[in-house]
Amino acid sequence: MKLSRTPIKTAIALVLCGTALVTTGAEASGQTPPAAAPAGTAQAAPRPGDDFFAWANKDWLAKTTIPEDRSRWGAMDNLAEDTNQRIVKLIEAVGADKKAGPEARKVADYFNAYMDEAAIEARGAAPLKPELAQIAAIKDKAGLVRVLGASVRADVDPLNNTHFATENIFGLWVSPGLHDPAHNWPYLLQGGLGMPDRAYYLDNNERMAGLRTQYQKHIAAMLKLAGYATTDADADARAAKIFALEVDIANTHTTRADSADVLKADNTWTRKDFPTNAPGIEWDAFFKAAHLSDQDKFIVWHPSAVKGEAALVDKTDLATWKDYLAFHTINRMANVLPKAFADQRFDFYGKALSGTPQQSVRWKRALGATNEAMDEAVGKLYVAKYFPAENKAQLQRMVANIVTAFGKRIDKLDWMAPATRAQAKEKLKTLYVGVGYPDKWKSYVGLKVDPKDAFGNALRAEAFHMGQELAKLHTKPDRTEWSMPPQLVNAVNLPLQNALNFPAAILQPPFFDPKAPDAVNYGAIGAIIGHEISHSFDDQGSQFDAQGRLRDWWTKEDMEHFKAASHKLVEQYNAYKPYQDLAVNGQLTLSENLADLAGLEASYDAYRAAAGKNATQETDRQFFTGYAQSWRTKAREEAERRGILTDGHAPPRYRTATVRNLDAWYKAFDVQPGQALYLPPDERVRVW
C-alpha cells in the first residue's frame, strides 16, 4: 500500500510497485501463460492475444536499454528521473538565493553537505567513532538491551510490505490501532537482517548460497574499512559469527505471505505480557531506551520473531552482539562516509543483490538522502513549481467518476447480500482521497542541518523522524495525513485511515496528460486510481470497515464467494513462470492482483460513462493500450528474482496480463481461442 520513508524512486505501493521482466517477445500461441524471453533476444512481434505487454510495448522494448546505474527501467523510472532533475535545479536555485526561507535553506544545506565529498573524505571514519564507542562500552546484557532499544527506528509498514528486513532488531510502526482507529498505537515487527528477507538466509539453492558468501565478505570488508577488525582473519571470523546470528534471526521470521495476513498479526500484548511471552530481554529497560516506556499496549505483528529474537539476546554471546551492532552501524551510515564505504555497500546491495553494474552519480544519491530526511519540504518546492491547480481539479473529477463506477459495480453484484453491500458503499462514501499534496505540511523546525556535516545530518534526521513518529502516540490519528511525499512517483491506499494518496509526481505523462484522449488517461492513471480504490476491497482491505477498524463486516456466504473467486486469481498467477526455477507467487501477490483487476474494470466503466456515445472499439483499444504502456518496464535478472521472492507485486508483464479477465479486451482486439492469453468466459476471474 505504501513505501514508507524511501528515497524518491519508482515503485508503486500496494498498487504499483514491483520489478519487471526483461523481455522482447512472446511465446508461441497456446493457452499456457506467456513466459519470459531471454534478455536481448529478438522475436517477431506478437499478437495482442499472445502477449499484450509485448505487443503494446514492442517499439519501446526494442530500443530501450537499462541504464548502467539501474536494476530496472520503465515508465515510472523515467518519470522519476525527469522529476528528480527538476527538483535538483530547484534545490540549486535555493542554494543561490540569499532570500530563501529557513525550511528551503535546510533542504539546500542537507543536499550540499552530502555533495561535499572532499569534506567527507577529509573526516574519514572519524564520525563513526562515537557510535562505535557506545557499542564498545557495552559491558553486559543489560547494556546490550539498552543499546538495542535505542536503535529502534520507525521505518516499517507491514500493511505495505515495506522494510520487513530492517537492520534494527525490531521495527516500529505507529498507526491507528487495528480495533481502535481513534488512537495511534505502537506496532512491533520483526527485524535484524542485513539481506532483504529470510529466504536469502534459508533457501537451499546455489544462487542464494552464493549471495550468502558474498554477504559475509561484505560484512568483513566493512569491519576492516572502519578499523573495527585489524586483519583479514579477524574480520572473516567476526563476519562468520555475525552472519550466523542473522541466520538464527531469519529462522525466527515469518514468511512474506504470512506477514501480509493481518489476522495473524492481530496480537495485542500489554507491557506485562512481554517477559512471559518473549523472555530473554529486560523489556522495561528496552522500552525505556526506545522512548516507549509510556506505552502500555503494543500490537505485535510477528510474535514468533519477537519471541525468537528475545531468546537470541539471552543465548548469543555478548561479543557477537557487539560486532553485529558495529557492522550494522557502519553499514547503515556507509553512504555518508568516505567513498570506499559507499562503494563497498554498492558492490553488495547494488551489484550482487540487484545486478546493477554502476553506482548512481553523486547528485542522485544526495537527492535520495535529502528526500529521506525532509521529504515534504522538498515536495513543497516541487508542487509550487510543477503542479498546476487545473491538473488537480481534473484528477479530482476522474477520481469521483471512478469511485462512482466502483459503487455501481457493487450495486450489480448478484452474490452480495444487502448488509454487506451497505457496508461496502459506506467505505466508498467516507473514503478520503488526497490528490497532489497533503492538506497540511510537516514542519521541520526542530531539525538541525549543518551544511558541512553530512554524517551528523543523517543521524539528526533519523532521530528527528523517530521523534515525529513517537509524538503521534500522544495525538489523535489524522485521516488526511499523507504517507508519501508529493514528488514520489507512487500511489497508496491506507486501510487504517480509509484514505488514498496520489502524489503530484505520478500525475504527469505517461500516466496523466491533460492533452491526451480521455480513454488513454483512464487506461493509465485511471487504472491506478481504480487500483487504489480497489485496495479497500482486496483480501486485506476488505477486512477493514469505513472507519478503518479491523472488523468482519461480511456475511459468511459473501466471504466464501469472495475467497473462492480470489483463489482463482491465485491459481492464475501461480501459473506464470518467468524462469524455469522460479514462478510468481499468486498468494503473495494476491492483494495487488485483485486491485489491478478491479481497478481496471472500474476505470473502464468510468471511461465508458464519460465517453457516452463517443466510445468506440478504437477508443477501447486506446484504453487498454494506455494501460499496458503504463507498465512498460525492463529489469535485470537479479532484481527480477529478488522482486518475485520479496515483493507483493507481480512483474509488470503479468500485471498487464490481467486484461485477459475482461470481456471488453477480447472484443477490442479480436482475441480468439488458441492465443496464449485467451481464457474461456467461464475461466475469466470476476470478483468485483
Asked if the structure places residue 597 within a domain, the reply is yes
H helix runs in 412-451, sequence order: 418-430
Asked if the structure places residue 43 within a domain, the reply is no
Q: Are 683 and 33 in contact (CB under 8 A)?
A: no
Cα distance between residue 628 and residue 630, in whole Å? 5
Within this chain, do residues 65 and 140 fall inside the same structural domain, yes or no? no
Residues in the chain: 688
DSSP code, position 36: P
Asked if the structure places residue 455 within a domain, the reply is yes
Closest CA to 630 of 555, 560, 531: 531
**Model confidence band, residue 78 (pLDDT cutoffs 50, 70, 90):** very high
Cβ-in-10-Å burial (0-12, 13-18, 19+) of 214 comes to middle
Within this chain, do residues 243 and 391 fall inside the same structural domain, yes or no? no
Averaged confidence pLDDT in the chain:
91
Global pTM value? 0.88
Q: What is the reported pLDDT for 257? A: 84
Cβ-in-10-Å burial (0-12, 13-18, 19+) of 362 comes to middle
Taken in order 396, 184, 328, 159, the sign of the CA dihedral is: negative
Q: Are 608 and 667 in contact (CB under 8 A)?
A: no
Within this chain, do residues 73 and 212 fall inside the same structural domain, yes or no? no
Q: Are 191 and 165 in contact (CB under 8 A)?
A: yes
Cell numbers at 395, concatenated: 484528477
Q: Which domain holds residue 535?
A: 52-80+375-683
Q: In the listed set 307, 336, 365, which residue is the last one of a domain according to the structure?
A: 336
Cα distance between residue 256 and residue 584, in whole Å? 13
Within this chain, do residues 175 and 304 fall inside the same structural domain, yes or no? yes
Cα distance between residue 340 and residue 486, in whole Å? 33
Does residue 31 carry a pLDDT above 60? no
DSSP code, position 352: I
Cell numbers at 418, concatenated: 444487502
Grid-cell match 512472446, residue found? 26
Percent of the chain with pLDDT over 70: 92
Asked if the structure places residue 531 within a domain, the reply is yes
Backbone conformation region of residue 43, classed left if phi is above 0, alpha if psi is from -120 to 50, else beta: beta
Cβ-based neighbours of 26, under 8 Å, separated by 6 or more: 34, 37, 43, 46, 50, 51, 54, 55, 676
Number of domains in the chain: 2
Q: In the listed set 308, 336, 364, which residue is the last one of a domain according to the structure?
A: 336
Does residue 291 carry a pLDDT above 60? yes
Q: How does pLDDT run across 549-569, given as a tens digit for each residue?
A: 999 999 999 999 999 999 999
Q: Are strands 184-190 and 297-300 parallel, antiparallel or unpaired?
A: parallel
Within this chain, do residues 242 and 321 fall inside the same structural domain, yes or no? yes
The full DSSP string for 472-487 is GGGS---TT--SS-TT
Asked if the structure places residue 13 within a domain, the reply is no
Q: In the listed set 284, 309, 336, which residue is the last one of a domain according to the structure?
A: 336
Q: Are 591 and 539 in contact (CB under 8 A)?
A: yes
Cα distance between residue 171 and residue 292, in whole Å? 13
Asked if the structure places residue 206 within a domain, the reply is yes
What 3-state DSSP class applies to 300?
A: strand
Q: What is the reported pLDDT for 35? A: 52
Does residue 13 carry a pLDDT above 50? no
Q: What is the reported pLDDT for 516? A: 92
Percent of the chain with pLDDT over 90: 86
Cβ-based neighbours of 93, under 8 Å, separated by 6 or more: none
Cα distance between residue 207 and residue 204, in whole Å? 9
Within this chain, do residues 291 and 387 fall inside the same structural domain, yes or no? no
Q: Are 502 and 400 in contact (CB under 8 A)?
A: no
Q: How does pLDDT run across 565-584, given as a tens digit for each residue?
A: 999 999 999 999 999 999 99
Cβ-based neighbours of 230, under 8 Å, separated by 6 or more: none
Asked if the structure places residue 564 within a domain, the reply is yes
**Model confidence band, residue 45 (pLDDT cutoffs 50, 70, 90):** low
Q: How does pLDDT run across 442-472, given as a tens digit for each residue?
A: 999 999 999 999 999 999 999 999 999 999 9
Q: How does pLDDT run across 382-408, given as a tens digit for each residue?
A: 999 999 888 899 999 999 999 999 999
Cα distance between residue 501 and residue 13, in whole Å? 10
Within this chain, do residues 329 and 390 fall inside the same structural domain, yes or no? no
Does residue 26 carry a pLDDT above 50? no
Cα distance between residue 589 and residue 572, in whole Å? 11
Q: Are strands 432-436 and 499-503 parallel, antiparallel or unpaired?
A: parallel
What 3-state DSSP class applies to 378?
A: helix
CATH number of the CATH domain containing 324: 1.10.1380.10
What 3-state DSSP class applies to 187?
A: strand
Please report, in angstroms and rounded to a whole number, the separation of the first and last CA atoms in the chain. Answer: 19
The letter for the amino acid at 33 is: P
Taken in order 126, 132, 136, 137, the sign of the CA dihedral is: positive
**Model confidence band, residue 166 (pLDDT cutoffs 50, 70, 90):** low
The alpha carbon of residue 122 and the mean position of all alpha carbons in its chain are separated, in whole angstroms, by: 35
Closest CA to 688 of 566, 578, 581: 566
Grid-cell match 491506507, residue found? 494
Within this chain, do residues 287 and 432 fall inside the same structural domain, yes or no? no
Q: What is the reported pLDDT for 39? A: 38
Cβ-based neighbours of 125, under 8 Å, separated by 6 or more: 225, 226, 227, 337, 338, 341
Continuous segment of H or E residues that includes residue 184: strand 184-190
**Model confidence band, residue 539 (pLDDT cutoffs 50, 70, 90):** confident
Asked if the structure places residue 356 within a domain, the reply is no
Cα distance between residue 676 and residue 638, in whole Å? 27
Within this chain, do residues 469 and 325 fall inside the same structural domain, yes or no? no
Average pLDDT of the residues in 103-121: 98
For the sheet containing 297-300, what is the strand order?
Answer: 170-176, 184-190, 297-300, 268-270
Cell numbers at 350, concatenated: 547494488
pLDDT greater at residue 258 or residue 275: 275
Within this chain, do residues 390 and 295 fall inside the same structural domain, yes or no? no
Peptide bond just before 38 cis, omega within 30 deg: no
Within this chain, do residues 477 and 560 fall inside the same structural domain, yes or no? yes
What 3-state DSSP class applies to 682?
A: helix
Low-confidence winner among 41-55, 273-287, 299-313, 517-531 (lowest mean pLDDT): 41-55
CATH number of the CATH domain containing 558: 3.40.390.10
The letter for the amino acid at 134 is: Q
Cell numbers at 287, concatenated: 522500552
Within this chain, do residues 281 and 414 fall inside the same structural domain, yes or no? no
* Residue 637: other Cβ atoms inside 10 A: 18
